Chains A and B, each alone.
Chain A
Amino acid sequence: MAEQWAERPDDEIAASPRAGRRRSKPAPAARHSGAVALLLVVLPLVGALGDEAMGPGLGLLFQLCAVLGTAGAAALATRAGWWWVLAAPPVVVLVAWAGGELLGDSAKYQGSKALATGSVRWLVHGFPVMAESIIAALVVIVVRIMLEKRNRRG
């Protein structure tokens, strides 16, 4: 998936004077793909684990990491990479929440009934974080588009 975040739209590639040399030297956007992956996936996971380490249940740290990570990823990703940045938060938040809870408080989720209730809890409490992450990414994307337009005009 990281390769996809480096994927560049046709117009940018074609317009680039270095288009012919892109295989030998990665374009700036491609060089950011690792950072995008880190921000989008690893930062929320770190936030979830950090929150669990501080006490049972996920809270503000996870929320901040998820929102800032997604916003940062949207700032660094290419236009084509935005597909992935916008699609990632629901799955990343859910997985991070479940992982953090299962690792930090495994005794609470023993048995199918407890696990089923737990998964509903993750969905319920995860939704605001998912929504905030997507909104943050959309804001960054809109700002970037506006800046690009202004730069072109200028």
Chain B
Amino acid sequence: MNVDAALDPEMRARLLPDNRLDGAANVLVFANADAASGVRNILKQKAGGLEVGPILMGMGNRAHVITPGITARGLLNMAAIAGTPVAHYG
């Protein structure tokens, strides 16, 4: 569905009256990385969001590709994520 339907319960109720979802989405899954990256950057720059990541899934926690906008604190957070043994997940 569109992002505004995911985030606005009333609009979603109008378009999808039978949907079983409650409230606003807190996880958005995008079909491609460009869309997700654009949304991420806008949230960071315009909505004052703080990014933790970007976290690369599927590499067995053996690599993370970060973006040039990261701060030293962000690198420390990524190191903490990279430093967690995979067995810990799940």
A binds B: no
Interface residues of A (CB under 8 A from B): none
Binding site for A on B (CB under 8 A): none
